[in-house]
Amino acid sequence: MTLPVDLVLVRHGESEGNVAKRQAEEGDPSAYTPEFLKRHTATWRLSPKGREQARHAGAWLRKEFGHADTACGPFDRSYVSSFARAKETAALLMLERTNWYIDYYLTERDWGELDRYPPEERERRYGELLKSRDDEPFFWRPTGGQSFQELCLRVDRVLGTLHRECSEKRVIIVCHGEVMRAFQVRIERMSQERFKMLHLSEDHLDRIWNCQILHYTRKDPKRPKAPLSPHADWVRFVRPTTTPVYIDPWKRIVRPSYSNGQLLESVERQ
């Protein structure tokens, strides 16, 4: 599958839901009012901090990609999740001459019944179910919700569109943290073992933060004049909300394959 020359994924800025969850985990569940709990997560707006994060991300993107003098701005195609916090983030990036395509395949993972409760109540009602998530997080499904495996199938739809329509273009997508992780899994052919390691990791570098950017490219960063790779073979991540901006070095993607013996070894580890 041939992907865009450059594919840039941006997580939305801090949302009302992010604030409510963080405050509740710190002992203050007051943001989970009856009115807030009645709202679908699709309606959550950005917090003031989230709007500022989006502006910082936009400044970095304009500096990095704004030299492209095209009628559609620095990117040839621009997609955004239909959820409010993603659309607000996309607009506040302030990318000139950009027309956004709203795509519901890019919406955040559905957490079903668990989305209806604040963290403490969620733990009381679904504590045992949440504990079981660590066993096989790729296949685990919240009650009435969506497994990560199912989210990946949704992302495959988007990748198919990019292959058919955008293989020679530069594309930006504004979406959600778990959706970005699903892009990582599918583009990099990430193993379930590696996914589980990231799920359990406490290293801040393994998290996808608000307004973090994932940049995939078919251009060799060390040889800019070399022919394009047929695949998105390099990736880096950027955190434009830090001071100074944190830019992870480019990494060459090595997509795993397995011998008969290695398959048996992976079964033994499981």
Give pLDDT tens digits for 29-41. 999 999 999 999 9
- Give the Cα separation of 97 and 74 in Å (integer): 8
* Cβ–Cβ < 8 Å for 41, 204: no
- Note the Cα 101 to chain centre separation in Å: 17
The pLDDT tens digits of the residues spanning 85-116 come to 999 999 999 999 999 999 999 999 999 999 88
What is residue 70's predicted lDDT score, i.e. its pLDDT? 62
What is residue 69's predicted lDDT score, i.e. its pLDDT? 57
The pLDDT tens digits of the residues spanning 133-177 come to 999 999 999 999 999 999 999 999 999 999 999 999 999 999 999
Residue 249 has pLDDT above 60, yes or no: yes
Average pLDDT, the chain: 94
pLDDT grade, residue 269 (50/70/90)?
confident
Task: Report DSSP letters for 126-158, one per residue.
Answer: HHHHHHHTTTSTTT---TTS--HHHHHHHHHHH
- Predicted structure pTM score: 0.95
* Cβ–Cβ < 8 Å for 233, 253: yes
What is residue 118's predicted lDDT score, i.e. its pLDDT? 87
CATH topology of domain 6-269: Rossmann fold (3.40.50)
What is residue 224's predicted lDDT score, i.e. its pLDDT? 87
pLDDT grade, residue 71 (50/70/90)?
low
What is residue 117's predicted lDDT score, i.e. its pLDDT? 87
- Give the Cα separation of 10 and 166 in Å (integer): 18
What is residue 22's predicted lDDT score, i.e. its pLDDT? 93
- Give the Cα separation of 84 and 92 in Å (integer): 12
The pLDDT tens digits of the residues spanning 1-58 come to 899 999 999 999 999 999 999 999 899 999 999 999 999 999 999 999 999 999 999 9
Q: Give alpha helix (H) positions in the chain.
A: 16-25, 34-38, 48-65, 84-92, 119-132, 148-165, 177-187, 192-200, 260-269
Residue 270 has pLDDT above 90, yes or no: no
CB atoms closer than 10 angstroms to residue 150: 14
**DSSP code for 204:** G
Mean pLDDT across 222-229: 94
- Note the Cα 86 to chain centre separation in Å: 11
Reading the block at residue 38, the tokens are 């009645």
What is residue 67's predicted lDDT score, i.e. its pLDDT? 60
The pLDDT tens digits of the residues spanning 176-223 come to 999 999 999 999 999 999 999 999 999 999 999 999 999 999 999 999
CB atoms closer than 10 angstroms to residue 225: 6
Beta strands 6-11 and 170-175, pairing class? parallel
